[in-house]
Amino acid sequence: MPKIKKVVTTVWYNKKNMRALRNVFPDAKFVYVPFYDKELLEKEVRDADAAILLGDVDPCLLGENTLKWIHCDHAGLNGSARPEVFARGIPVTGSAGRSAPVLAEHCIYFMLQGCYHTKELLEAQEKGQWGVEGMNTWRGLYGRTAGIVGLGNNGKQLASRLHALGMNIISYNLNEVPGFDYIEQQLAIEKGDTIEPLLRESDFIILTIALTDQTYHMINKETLGMVKKGAFLVNMARGGVVCTEDLIEALNDGTLSGAGLDVFEEQPLSPESPLWRMKNVYITPHSTPQVPDRAAASIEIIRENAHKFEAGEPMRNLLRPSDAVDNGKAEGGWSKMLNTKLTKEQIAQIDFDKFLGKRDWTDPSEWM
């Protein structure tokens, strides 16, 4: 069985979690490298068995080294699903599922915004106005139909919560998922089902599906033409799952009553985008409140995979060829910047705490 003798990490954890991560590998040499120091990272992995990364698989990890496992400490692995990574043959895993409960809450937050017409009520509140025209026609979530597109970690957590709220649920997934008997219709691609019944019957269409070449622009002019009139769309998946141009048209012509959007085809969303100024659109900047300790949840996934690796068992959240998307389809943003070679001057100008959270140490000796 393979043994992990040296681990290199670039993650941005506090002392407590760095110590916990280090203790996942008690018998291994454990080395911390700042994520932006590519030369040092390339040097340290030459004789390493595992790399635990803040970002995606950087090209500097694909040279001559002894790496046998790479873990990327985030959910989507699209940025690592590249031909040269698959060609290298190193198992790559991710941290999908660590924030699933709160991501499910985020979906419901958007859905409630649509039900309660939050923008209109806030505008009335600022005016000291009692009531809003048409509010007697508004309906809550109870008794309505939610269509969940993708029954992965987030979709499952969402389904259980919407069931508790008394909603009817339809799902669309690669296959049927056991243990969710309360879902009225489980549409499965493997059975030959299409997404059309979900679109036609759902009051809320919630996207929690991975971005792949197959799901790229799956919400487009054609599929939007199938939706129930006045449906509300939530995108908590990836921006590329939705064709932005067709979405804007559907919001303008009343096909959709509104949308809650956390992700976009290009991130950050341009200030010129009309989505910012639409009264029926609610936007969050690809940001969800954290679970009580997201890093701790990641560490448990890493611990599980370390055991599976040494036992020769299938690993959790393993990178698959289906995670690959053609160049230009995956959104940009902070995750891509993590794998950019920065100069010392650029590094000095970046407030990493703003993007990655405050860290209570400056030297690894404080937790090693």
- Domains of the chain, CATH where assigned: 6-98+292-366 (3.40.50.720), 100-283 (3.40.50.720)
Comparing 79 with 171, the larger pLDDT belongs to 171
Per-residue pLDDT at 224: 98
Per-residue pLDDT at 333: 47
Per-residue pLDDT at 79: 87
Per-residue pLDDT at 355: 76
| Residue 332 predicted with pLDDT over 50 | no
B/e letters for 301-317, b = 16+ CB within 10 Å, e = fewer, are bbebbbebbeeeeebeb
List all residues 6 or more positions away from 353 whose beta carbon is below 8 Å from its beta carbon.
359
| Residue 43 predicted with pLDDT over 50 | yes
Average pLDDT value for residue range 254-271:
96
- Token pair 């991710």 is at which residue? 94
**Percentage of the chain lying above the pLDDT 70 cut:** 96
Task: Report the chain's terminal Cα–Cα distance, integer Å.
Answer: 27
| Residue 251 predicted with pLDDT over 80 | yes
Per-residue pLDDT at 7: 98
* Band of residue 344 on the pLDDT scale cut at 50, 70, 90: confident
Strands (E), 68-117: 69-72, 92-94
Q: Among 59-73, 171-185, 222-236, 289-303, name the one with the lowest average pLDDT.
A: 289-303
